[in-house]
């Protein structure tokens, strides 16, 4: 990739940011025991100047977590649910870790949030009468008692995983189609 040729970027802002980053990295050479780590999920967009010796010269791929890692991530994100009784007994962390294969920690955190959202939506649908009573002067205790029935179930997690995978596949398809499009230089002379 040549500078200034990123998807029609003609503003020079990206080049300016890259130049500033290069100056900062080069300025660290005089310091002792400093390690600069850069991370990206789009390595194809890195400016080649960043990868020259003395800068970010070691490239390391960090794969998504394995089954055990995914299990630990799921446990971290569901601990409070389990402690408060919101996590239903039908949720098997081991099975969930398997169906989340290929997902990153951020993907898994999103799955847990999405599953919780599905559970809350289901609870609201099932308990509209109680919520309506409270809105028109009923006691808060009625809603708290009913809210105790909220459970994040296995079906919520599986729905969230399916949605996350479909979303990721859609993004991958869009990105690959972008790469197939010919780039048109803006303001090109005719």
Domain ranges of the chain: 1-62, 67-180
Which residue in the block uniquely carries the two structure tokens 């055990």?
68
Over pLDDT 70: what percentage of the chain?
72
Q: Please, where are the H alpha helices in the chain?
A: 13-27, 67-84, 93-99, 105-126, 128-135, 140-147, 154-180
Beta carbons of 175 and 133 less than 8 angstroms apart: no
Tokens found for residue 111: 């799955």
Ramachandran category for residue 51: left, alpha or beta (phi over 0 → left; psi -120 to 50 → alpha) = alpha
Architecture of domain 67-180: Orthogonal Bundle (1.10)
State the pTM of this model.
0.64
Nearest to 93 by CA among 116, 109, 70: 70
Average pLDDT on 123-133 reads 67
pLDDT tens profile 5-21: 555 555 677 788 888 88
Question: What does the CA dihedral 67, 68, 71, 75 come to, rounded to 10 degrees?
Answer: -170
Distance of CA 186 to the CA centre of its chain: 33
- Res. 112: pLDDT tops 90: yes
pLDDT tens profile 154-184: 999 999 999 998 877 666 666 665 555 454 4
Q: Is 112 exposed, middle or buried (0-12, 13-18, 19+ CB in 10 A)?
A: buried
> For 83-103, b where at least 16 C-beta lie within 10 A, e where not — what string?
eeebbbeebebeebbeebeeb
Tokens found for residue 160: 């969230």
Q: How confident is the model at residue 147 (pLDDT cuts 50, 70, 90)?
A: low
Q: Which residues pair with 152 in a beta bridge?
A: 87
**Does residue 182 or residue 116 have the better pLDDT?**
116
Which residue in the block uniquely carries the two structure tokens 């402690």?
83
Q: Which of 55-59, 94-98, 132-136, 148-152 has the lowest mean pLDDT?
A: 132-136
């Amino acid at each position: 990739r040549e500078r200034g040729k990123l998807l029609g970027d003609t503003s020079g802002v990206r080049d300016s940011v890259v130049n500033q980053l290069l100056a900062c990295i080069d300025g660290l050479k005089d310091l002792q025991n400093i390690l600069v780590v850069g991370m990206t999920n789009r390595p194809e967009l890195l400016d080649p100047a960043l990868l020259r010796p003395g800068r970010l010269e070691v490239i390391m791929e960090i794969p998504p977590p394995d089954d055990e890692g995914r299990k630990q991530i799921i446990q971290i994100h569901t601990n409070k649910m389990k402690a408060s009784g919101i996590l239903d007994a039908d949720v098997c962390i081991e099975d969930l870790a398997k169906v989340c294969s290929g997902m990153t920690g951020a993907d898994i955190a999103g799955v847990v949030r999405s599953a919780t959202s599905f559970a809350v939506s289901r609870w609201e649908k099932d308990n509209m009468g109680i919520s309506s009573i409270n809105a028109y002067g009923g006691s808060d205790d009625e809603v708290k008692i009913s809210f105790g029935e909220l459970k994040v179930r296995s079906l919520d997690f599986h729905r969230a995983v399916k949605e996350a995978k479909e979303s990721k596949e859609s993004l991958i398809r869009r990105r690959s189609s972008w790469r197939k499009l010919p780039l048109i230089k803006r303001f090109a002379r005719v």
